[in-house]
Amino acid sequence: MNLKKFLCVVSSFLSVFLFAEEVKLNTETKVASNDVVAEASPVTEKPVVVSETVTSEEKKEATTGNKDKKVISPFIPLENQVKVCTWNMRWFPSGSPVVKPAKDEYKRSESAARFLNWQKVDIVMLQEVRSAEVVTNLVKMMERPDMKVAACTQFPTLPTDPVPQHQNAIITHYPVIDSGFAKWEKDGELEPPRGYAYAVIDCDGTLTLCFSVHFKSNFIAKEEDPEKTPIVNRKTREATARQFVAIADKLSKKEYDGRKIEAVFLAGDFNTSIFDDNFKGEATIQTIKDGGYRDVYADVPADKRETMPATKWHSSTVFDYIFYKGDKKLNDPYIAPKSWISDHRLVSIKFIKK
């Protein structure tokens, strides 16, 4: 065996070992103890569609050489409960603003599929995904015939982000009654980036309206004013929150064949924290609460609900939220252990259907 093949085998073995360790930590407890990011710089590579560019040899290598290896464990639905999750997947499937080789993106996608299956997800709001096609590939890798893409945004590519990996999506195994997406409206001189994806999902008789969002980041470009830009970023998020509440209220009043929506979830990466003094005075989260939506983690101490572990660039913080409106009972707020797939933790809550 030459050195290149040997290193490939070692790398594959380590990937499997690290994932196994991650799964071992990932037991379904109440709230896991917890051990955010800049927008892209320009890149020139064209996007790579995973499913159409991976050769059989690359797939074999990415799956540790075992072509019969199964991605999932059997999925058993939670009795009378629905698990709602949100996860910023960090430049998925490349893991960075730069497109990676197809085999690397395949490996990340496969690991993400396995991770979602171990979480036994029912509805997942995703952020920072490249496209609907990439999300469709992810769903296929989950090997759950009933799982589908309910909605995925198609925001235009920005000059500073030529690889469009900041889309929002929703996936579920329940029937989808209605879905769509839209860009945020301009608010005076403020122009919020991206927008929202939404889906009305029939959870065994309970119509549930879900939103996946990704609010303005805290990124400051080199050419921007380091004092003015943070203020603009905050005002932009606050303007987005006002739109968000108005849109959610409007859509939640719709009826479908005489049936009313009983549960509403607003979830995603809000890029602000009510626990961090750096965002003191920002009204983004409070605006959503004032709209009648409650933070499902309100009773969880800040040090137990950090959704972005610390790095050399920032301290740990809480940027990922799930807000809820309705009269369904909620159970088991849960923050998954850190995964190598993303710098954000998956956040979830369960609600009782009937």
Distance from C-alpha of 290 to C-alpha of 313, rounded to nearest angstrom? 32
- Taking the CA atoms of 70, 115, 26 and 266 in sequence, report the sign of the dihedral they define: negative
pLDDT at 65 over 80: no
Angstrom distance (rounded) from CA 353 to CA 345: 25
Residue 163, pLDDT score: 58
Give per-residue burial for 180-194: e unless 16+ CB within 10 Å, then b. ebeebeeeeebebbb
pLDDT band at 299 (very low <50, low <70, confident <90, very high): confident
Per-residue DSSP letter, 275: T
Count Cα neighbours of 66 within 13 Å in the Cβ-side half-sphere: 8
- Residue pLDDT, tens place only, 95-123: 988 889 999 999 999 999 999 999 999 99
Cα separation, 256 vs 244, in Å, equals: 22
Is 250 strand, coil or helix? helix
> Which band of pLDDT confidence, cut at 50, 70 and 90, is reported for residue 298?
confident
- Sheet strands (E) in the chain: 81-92, 123-129, 148-152, 167-172, 176-183, 195-203, 206-214, 255-256, 259-260, 263-269, 294-295, 320-326, 330-335, 347-352
Cα 5 from Cα 9, distance rounded (Å): 6
Provide the number of structural domains found in the chain. 1
d(CA 23, CA 12): 17
Q: Tens digit of pLDDT for each residue in 67-95?
A: 344 444 445 556 789 999 999 999 899 99
- How do residues 2-50 score in pLDDT, each as one tens digit? 544 444 444 444 444 444 444 333 333 333 333 222 222 222 222 222 2
On average, the pLDDT of the chain sits at 80
Give the domain range for residue 173.
Answer: 3-352
Domain of 36: which CATH number? Answer: 3.60.10.10
Task: Give residue 151's identity as a one-letter amino acid code.
Answer: A
Which residue is it, tokens 């103890």?
33
Amino acid residing at 201: I
